[in-house]
Amino acid sequence: MTTIAPEQVNRIVWNQHHDPFEVLGAHLVEENGKSNLWAVRAYLPNASAVTVILPEERKEYPMETVHDPHFFECTIETQELINYQFRVKEGEHERVIYDPYAFYSPKLTEFDLHLFGEGNHHRIYEKLGAHLTDVNGIAGVYFAVWAPNARNVSIIGDFNSWDGRKHQMRKGQTGIWELFVPGLGVGEHYKYEIKNIEGHIYEKSDPYGFQQEPRPKTASIVSDLKSYAWGDEDWLESRRHTDPLTQPISVYEMHLGSWLHASSGEPAKLPNGETEPVVTVSELNPGARFLTYRELADRLIPYVKDLGYTHIEILPVAEHPFDGSWGYQVTGYYAPTSRYGKPEDFMYFVDQCHKNGIGVIVDWVPGHFPKDGHGLAFFDGTHLYEHADPRKGEHKEWGTLVFNYSRNEVRNFLVANALFWFDKYHIDGIRVDAVASMLYLDYCRNDGEWVTNQYGGRENLEAADFLRQVNHIIFSYFPGVVSIAEESTAWPMVSWPTYTGGLGFNLKWNMGWMHDMLDYFSMDPWFRQFHQNNITFSMWYHHSENYMLALSHDEVVHGKSNIIGKVPGDRWQKFANVRCLFAYMFTHPGKKTMFMSMEFGQWSEWNVWSDLEWQLFQHEPHQQLKEFFKGLNHLYRSEPALYTQDFAREGFEWIDCSDNRHSVVSFIRRDKDSDNFVVTVCNFTPQPHSHYRIGVPEPGFYTELFNSDARQYGGSNMGNLGGKWTDNWSFHSRPYSLDLCLPPLGVLVLKLDKEKTAEALANS
C-alpha cells in the first residue's frame, strides 16, 4: 500500500524538504476505519532491502520501494510504534539501526528560543551544537544549528559516508535546525551540509562544536564535557570571595605551541594509555611535534611556579586553522585546539594550574573571524554572523570579517562563548583582543570605506553595548575573575563598571606606558636626561583606569627585536637595562604582564614555529636574569604596598621625579590595609652615585629589600650593605632623608624596618 505522493518523496530524495519528519518515520494512517495502522517510511540511499523490526513483539515487516529505488515504506497494525529498528541490507553487508525520524524530541523549549532570539540565552551552548542524550531510553546525539536562511541542512559524517541525503534536519520557527541521531557517541566526526536558497552547498563545522579535528582537517567531533573530574573546588571558592584588583597579578603570557616542542618520535603523554597520534608542528620545524596539554602541565607549570608568576595567559586556545595566525583567527569558538589534545586534556591543564596556585587567562577574539570555508563566514549562504556591507563587515588589513553585533543571535553566540570558557574550563580571566578595532567604525579604514553610526559619529555603538553586556554577565556569574581589554585609544572608562557608563572590564592594558618605556630604554642613556617625561608621564593618568602594564608578544615580532635587543650598550649594559626596565615595571602602579622568553633574555624575536632559545641557559648571564625575575616576583608578591592600591591616588607618591640631569626617579608605594610603605629609587644611566640623597617620611632603618644590581643577578653588586639609617636632614620637602649608593642602571627597593628602628630608639 502506498500512502505518500510522488512529489513528497521527491522532496526528500532531492533534499528539498524543510521538515523531513512530515514524510519520514512512523505516521498513523486510516484504512477501512482502522485507527491503529502505521505507515513507516525511510529514505536509505545505497540500501537494496529494508525490514522493520519490532523488538518487543519479535516481528519483522519487509518494506517496499515507493516512487524511488531507495525510498521504502510498509504499513504495520499495532497500538503503539516506538523504538522500532531497520534491518538494512547494502550489497553484501547488513546492519540494524534505529530510525532517527522516530525520535523527535527537541531540547530547545519555547523559552530557550525566546531567550536566544533576544540575545540573552547565557548557556545556549548547552542546547545548540552536538549533545549526548537519551530519547526513549535510546542513546545518541542531538544536533542543533542556527541557519535561518538555509533551504536545507543535513548532518554529514563518518557514520553516513558524508552523504547529506541520509540525515536531513528539521527546521524550527526561529531558524534552528535539529535532529537526534540514535546510536552515535563520543568521537564521531561530523559537519553540517547547508544548502542556500539557490541550492549551493556549504560544508560547515559546528559553530558550537566542542572539538575539531587537528588541522588541516576541519570536521567537528562529538565530545562529552562532563567526563572530567575536577579537583579545584577550593580554588574556585577562594576566587569567588577575592577582589583581583587588590591582589598581586603577575602574568606569564605565552603561546602553547612554541614554548617548547618534543621530537615527533617521542611518545606523547596521553590519558588512560591512549595512543592517538600527536600533531607535528610544520614543515618549518621538521621532526618536531607539539607538547600535549598534559605534557605542558608537567613541564610548564613547575617552570612558571618556580619563577613566581601568579597567572599564565595563553594566546587564543580556541580552534584555528592557520598556525601563523597565533590563534587570533578563530574558526572553533567553543573548541580548545586539538593541536595539543582533547577538551578533557585542557581541563587537566587548567586543573593542575589551580592546584599549583596559578590562575589561567585565555585570549579571546570577539572582534573578527576568518573567511575559511568551513567556518562562520557566509554560514547559511548569507551574511549571517558578519555584516553584509563590507564597509562594516570586513577588516581588509587582516583579511577577516567583523561580527554583526546588532544581531541578537550573533551577540548571544559571543556572550555565551565568553561564559563557556569560565563555566566548562574554569578559566580565571579573558584578555579581549583588538578592542579598539571593535569600538571604532573607521578602524584601519580610509575615507569612503566606512559608514557612520546613527548619530554621524565613528563609534561602533553596537560593539560598545556588546562589551558592556558580556562584562556585566561575566562578573554576575563569576565574581573574582578578570576581564582585560587590549585597548589603545582614549575611549573613556574602559575599566569602569557598566553601571557608571563604563565598558565593564576590570583591567586595561596600558599601551601608552608600554610605548613610552620602550622608546625611553631604546635611547642611549646620555640622551635619557632629555626625555624624563617618558618615565613620569604615566603617573598623570595611572588612576584614570585599572591599568595592566604589558610587554607582550606584539613587542617581540615583525622586526621589533626582543627586549634585550632593543636596549643599547655592551652585553653587560643590555642585561642591566633589562633588569632596570622590569624592576621599574614591577614597582610602578598596575598589574603586570610579560611575554615568554623575556625572563631569560632571548636575543631573537619570537618565532611561532620554533622553540624558545632554551640553549641560552648554558650561559651564566641568562641564568642570572632568570634568578632576577624569581627575586622580582617574590618581592612583588610579598609586599602589599606594591599591589593593594594600584589604582588609587593614595597608593603612589613621588619623592622626586625632576632629576632629569641624573635620570633618576624616586617614589613611595603605600599599602591599603596598613601604614607600611616601600621606597623605590631608579637610576636609568650607567653612572653610579655613591652619595645620592632622597627624602623619606619617617625616621629609622630602611632595609634594602631588592637591588637589581645584585651579584646573583649579574650586576656589579653596588648597594647599601643591607640598608641605611635616616639622617635628620629635611630633603625633598620631607623631614628625614637617606644617603644612598645608587648602582649603575639599577633599581633599589627599601622598606622601613619598624622593629629594628623601635629597638634602636629604646636603647638610645
Active-site amino acid positions: 433, 486
Q: How far is CA 219 from the centre of its chain?
A: 21
Is residue 10 within 8 Å of 86, Cβ to Cβ? no
- With both helix axes pointing from N to C terminus, report the angle between 408-425 and 343-355 in degrees, rounded to the nearest 10: 60
CA within 13 Å, CB half, 107: 21
Residue of 402, 391, 317, 340 whose CA lies nearest to 368: 402
> Which residue has cell 617548547?
260
Helix/strand/coil for 711: helix
Cross-strand partners of 65: 72
* Residue 427 burial (C-beta neighbours within 10 Å; 0-12, 13-18, 19+): buried
Give the integer Cα–Cα distance in Å for 631 and 308. Answer: 8
Q: What is the identity of the amino acid at 694?
A: I
Residue of 190, 95, 99, 87 whose CA lies nearest to 136: 99
Backbone angles phi, psi at 85, to 5 degrees: -130, 160
Under DSSP, the state recorded for 748 is E
Cβ atoms < 10 Å from Cβ of 762: 7
Q: How far is CA 350 from CA 228, 324, 425, 488, 722, in A?
A: 12, 25, 7, 30, 40
Cross-strand partners of 431: 363, 484
For 375-427, strand residue ranges (E) read 394-395, 400-401
Q: How far is CA 117 from CA 113, 128, 271, 657, in A?
A: 6, 13, 40, 56
Is residue 607 within 8 Å of 258, Cβ to Cβ? yes
Helix/strand/coil for 344: helix
CA within 13 Å, CB half, 458: 13
Is residue 352 within 8 Å of 301, Cβ to Cβ? yes
Cell of 210: 566542542
Q: Compute the residue count for the chain.
A: 764
Is residue 662 within 8 Å of 683, Cβ to Cβ? yes
Give the integer Cα–Cα distance in Å for 181 and 156. Answer: 11
Residue of 151, 158, 139 whose CA lies nearest to 100: 139
